[in-house]
Amino acid sequence: MLGNFIYSNPTKLYFGNNALDNLPVALKDYSRIMLVYGGCSIKKTGLYDRIVKLLKDSGKTVIEDGGVMPNPTVGKLYEGCKIARENEVDFILAVGGGSVCDYSKAVSVSTYCEGDPWEKYFIKFDEPDCKIIPVGCVLTMVGTGSEMNGGSVITNHAQKLKIGHVFGENVFPKFAILNPEVTFTIPDYQMKAGFFDIMSHILEQYFSGEDDNTSDYIMEGLLKSLIHSTRIAVKNPTDYEARSNIMWTATWALNTLVAMGKSTDWEVHMLGQAVGAHTDATHGMTLSAVSLPYYRHILPYGLDKFVRFAENVWGVSPANKTKEEIALEGLAEMEKYMREIGVVMNITDLGVTPEMIEGIADSTLVMTGGYKVLTREEIIAILKESL
């Protein structure tokens, strides 16, 4: 049965190879823009110069906040809040991938937060009750879906925690500019990490809740599109058709639509984020490294859904096979695909040693929306199998 829900997504999307031309119109009601970005890549590609020109030609005051790292830290968050507050910015423009978008949303709700935003939002998971600075995104890397949702993930190295907070629609970006051509220059490793991040987002929602509703059919279509297009993109990263379909799939994978009527799992993300908190490894690769051990572990508790996954997504024939054999063959097909596109298959390659397992287990949040609520012993077993 499809559960009761209310759906709303206020983010406006500008999609295509001329999408950036819409920036002046999208920002017409704002004057003091905080331009947030990561390293030097947007300067090397010329995107930075183009955006700054558009902003200044539109009469905007530009305040810069560069240097956002791939796993944004709580220290960087405090720094960004100080810049935004002291310069009285009225809009935050994130130019980058998911980390830059996540960070910008964290700054938007934290700049005028009373008390410590880390404690309020990422430990207590409170909602903002202060002034929120609106955010817009110019996406340069696909994967997180952060351009059209309220999610924000921040890392606290001192506490060995990497935690996400999914804020309400008042924190969603006001707009997102999606030009597939901008993603052509992303390094191969980051591109592939983004591809698996998309897949993981879909699977986290697919393997949960009721097993025969509209959301499941949508997700199976998204997965088949993703598999098809990523196989093309790893061979030809500048294939516009493939990269545009991947970009569009990434947005729909996590803009809250397919979660409707689903309990959603997210334990793979909790495992991956715990690994990331201890290693600072690339997010999508932490997910790929733990996914198969996790799904093999929970397969008996959601067997019928894993059978459906094998048949409908991977084309596994059920003839003369038990349900378990069909389900395991589906995961074997998924493993072949992961190796084909070149993602990390174990946490050892991310810097994890056996001595780190207990600490990573202590950093793993336990979720309750999937087919099995894990015990600490099970988390440790899954992490050991991921080595």
Q: Which structure tokens are listed for 333? A: 């097909």
pLDDT above 70: percentage of residues in the chain? 99
Can you state the percent helix, strand and coil of the chain, rounding each to 5?
A: 55, 10, 35
- Measured between alpha carbons, how far is 97 from 93 in angstroms, rounded to an integer? 12
Structurally, at CATH architecture level, domain 188-386 sits in: Up-down Bundle (1.20)
**What's the CATH class of domain 12-182?**
alpha beta
Q: Are 80 and 103 in contact (CB under 8 A)?
A: yes
Residues of the chain with CATH 3.40.50.1970: 12-182
Name the residue type at position 374: L
Strand, coil or helix: what is 150?
Answer: coil
Q: Which two tokens stand for residue 125?
A: 């998971």
Mean pLDDT, residues 76-95 taken together: 97
194-to-82, 210, 287 alpha-carbon distances in Å: 30, 28, 10
The string of pLDDT tens digits covering residues 330-383 is 999 999 999 999 999 999 999 999 999 999 999 999 999 999 999 999 999 999
Band the pLDDT of 1: cuts 50, 70, 90.
Answer: low
Average pLDDT over the chain, rounded to an integer: 96
pLDDT on residue 22: 96
CATH 1.20.1090.10 location in the chain: 188-386
Distance separating alpha carbons of residues 126 and 75, to the nearest angstrom: 20
What six digits make up the tokens of 163?
Answer: 């935690």
First to last CA, the chain: 39
Q: Which residues pair with 172 in a beta bridge?
A: none
The owner of tokens 């409170």 is 126
Task: Give the number of C-alpha atoms closer than 13 A to the C-alpha of residue 142, restricted to the C-beta side.
Answer: 32
Dist CA 378 CA 375 (whole Å):
5
Helix 323-341 to helix 303-312 angle, to the nearest 10 degrees?
50
Rounded CA separation 233/354 (Å): 35
- With CA atoms as reference, report the closest residue to 309 among 234, 202, 230, 383: 202
Give pLDDT, residue 2. Answer: 66
Sign of the CA dihedral with 366 first, then 369, 372, and 373 last: positive
pLDDT tens, residue by residue, 17-68: 999 999 999 999 999 999 999 988 899 999 999 999 999 999 999 999 999 9
Q: Which long-range contacts (CB under 8 A, 24 or more apart) does 224-230 make?
A: 224/313, 225/249, 226/195, 226/198, 226/199, 226/202, 226/253, 227/313, 227/337, 230/195, 230/341
Strand partners, 153: 164
365 and 270 in contact (C-beta within 8 Å)? yes
Query: What is the DSSP annotation of 342-382?
Result: T----GGGGT--GGGHHHHHHTPPPPSSSS-PPPHHHHHHH
Q: What is the pLDDT of residues 195-247, one digit of tens each?
A: 999 999 999 999 998 767 899 999 999 999 999 999 999 999 999 999 999 99
If 0-12 CB within 10 Å is exposed, 13-18 middle and 19+ buried, where does residue 219 land? buried
Residue 325: other Cβ atoms inside 10 A: 14
Average pLDDT over residues 77-98: 97
Grouping H, G, I as helix, E, B as strand and the rest as coil, residue 63 is strand
| Portion of the chain with pLDDT greater than 90, in percent | 94
